[in-house]
């Protein structure tokens, strides 16, 4: 049984070692040395060149190295009948929860203001408010959003979530669908975006929806850059309607050198590193899925390509 691997060159070695440790029986073919395409059963990929997967006639499943699958959906030749599985693994989930908790605490504790004061050599206290007075809204209550929401609750923040279908998560107020969006936004002092990029979510945060947030709200976007209309966010940051933003993802990546986000005083930015798939725990998850599938059981976390996630 052979698995094609096409990931990031720098971490290829760690993946090879992890896959060999978890499944010594699996023949690993690292792109571009793919050998006989007809002998490949599974693919584990990030941003494969368009057409690569279409050229594998006996492919049984495609595993995305990331939780997002937009890097696959953009391939016009993606084989339509081969299941696509998104990445769900504990390392990726833990990393995202760390990033979200860190970012929410950063805004909650006025760190953007203190950084500005530090640069101005100003020694001035800002009155602190308790977590119970800071309402956090998590957009996207999937695997990552639910884990982050649970951890945020443990700090004492009132936490709400917004998703396509209603959720019952202990302690988390659930809002769902287009009809639930205005009320959800209206009570999010810190808005965390953990939605996938789909036809329905692209541009969801625009001048109109940003205006529904409480004045001075902060935004943490670690979902996808195209969820936000960036020019609308900049305008809202410039006039103070949005008090600050932590941005890990952008419509264009790498972020162009001329982007005003780079040196905006109310923005913290990171280069799409909110979380990373950890080769060891991810290899264990992929190998478990392959074994399950080979034993005739269904794959988990299969993407509905028509829905986009």
Contact between 215 and 186 (Cβ < 8 Å): no
The 10 Å Cβ neighbour count of residue 78 is 19
At residue 144's C-alpha, the angle toward residues 140 and 145, to 5°, is 40
Q: How far is the CB of 19 from ligand OXD (least distance, A)?
A: 18
C-alpha 210/C-alpha 185 separation (Å) is 8
The entry of ligand NDP, ligand OXD, none that residue 97 binds, CB within 5 to 8 Å by partner kind: none
What stretches of the chain show up as alpha helix (H) in DSSP? Answer: 12-22, 70-73, 90-108, 111-119, 143-154, 177-186, 207-210, 230-238, 279-294
Least Cβ distance, residue 9 to ligand NDP (angstroms): 18
Task: State in angstroms the smallest separation of the CB of 289 from ligand OXD.
Answer: 16
Separation of alpha carbons 192 and 179, rounded Å: 19
Is 272 noted as a catalytic residue in this protein? Answer: yes
- Write out the residues near ligand NDP by the rule CB under 6 A: 66-68, 92, 96, 140-145, 163-165, 194-198, 200-201, 222-224, 248-249, 272, 274-275, 309
User: What does 138 bind: ligand OXD, ligand NDP, none (CB cut-off 5 to 8 Å by kind)?
Assistant: none
Q: Is 121 a catalytic residue?
A: no
Nearest approach, Cβ of residue 308 and ligand NDP (Å): 7
- Active-site residue, selected from the candidate residues 22, 164, 272, 301: 272
Helix/strand/coil for 132: helix
Closest CB 11 distance from ligand OXD, rounded Å: 12
Phi, psi of 178 (to 5 degrees): -60, -35
* Complex with ligand OXD: residue 277 or 289, whichever CB lies closer: 277
- Contact residues toward ligand OXD (CB under 6 A) are 66-68, 87, 92, 277
Could you tell which of ligand NDP, ligand OXD, none binds residue 223, using a CB distance below 5 to 8 A set by kind?
ligand NDP
CB-based closest residue to ligand OXD: 66
Of 31, 42, 24, residue with least CA distance to 290: 42
Q: In terms of CB distance, is 197 or 289 closer to ligand NDP?
A: 197
> How far is 152 from 148, CA to CA, in rounded Å?
6
* Cβ atoms of residues 46 and 64 within 8 Å: yes
Residue 137 binding partner per list ligand OXD, ligand NDP, none, with a CB distance cut-off of 5 to 8 Å that depends on partner kind = none
Active-site residues, by number, are 224, 272
């Amino acid at each position: 049984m052979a698995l094609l691997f096409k990931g990031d060159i720098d971490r290829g070695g760690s993946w090879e070692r992890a896959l060999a440790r978890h499944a010594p029986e699996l023949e690993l073919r690292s792109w571009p040395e793919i050998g006989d395409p007809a002998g490949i059963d599974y693919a584990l990929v990030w941003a494969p060149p368009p057409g690569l997967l279409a050229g594998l006639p006996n492919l049984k499943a495609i595993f995305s190295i990331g939780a997002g699958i937009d890097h696959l959906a953009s391939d016009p030749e993606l084989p339509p009948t081969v299941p696509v599985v998104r990445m769900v693994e504990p390392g990726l989930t833990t990393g995202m929860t760390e990033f979200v908790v860190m970012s929410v605490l950063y805004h909650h504790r006025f760190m953007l203001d203190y950084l500005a004061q530090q640069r101005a050599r100003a020694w001035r206290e800002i009155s602190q408010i308790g977590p119970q007075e800071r309402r956090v809204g998590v957009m996207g209550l999937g695997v990552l959003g639910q884990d982050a929401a649970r951890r945020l609750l443990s700090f004492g923040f009132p936490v709400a979530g917004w998703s396509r279908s209603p959720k019952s998560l202990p302690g988390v107020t659930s809002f769902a669908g287009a009809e639930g969006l205005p009320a959800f936004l209206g009570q999010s002092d810190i808005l965390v975006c953990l939605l996938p990029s789909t036809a329905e979510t692209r541009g969801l945060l625009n001048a109109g929806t940003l205006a529904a947030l409480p004045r001075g709200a902060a935004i943490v976007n670690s979902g996808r850059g195209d969820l936000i209309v960036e020019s609308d966010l900049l305008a809202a940051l410039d006039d103070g309607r949005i008090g600050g933003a932590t941005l890990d993802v952008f419509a264009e990546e790498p972020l162009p050198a001329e982007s005003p986000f780079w040196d905006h005083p109310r923005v913290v930015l990171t280069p799409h590193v909110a979380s990373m798939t950890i080769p060891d725990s991810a290899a264990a998850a992929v190998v478990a899925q392959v074994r399950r599938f080979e034993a005739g059981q269904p794959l988990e976390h299969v993407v509905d390509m028509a829905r986009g996630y």
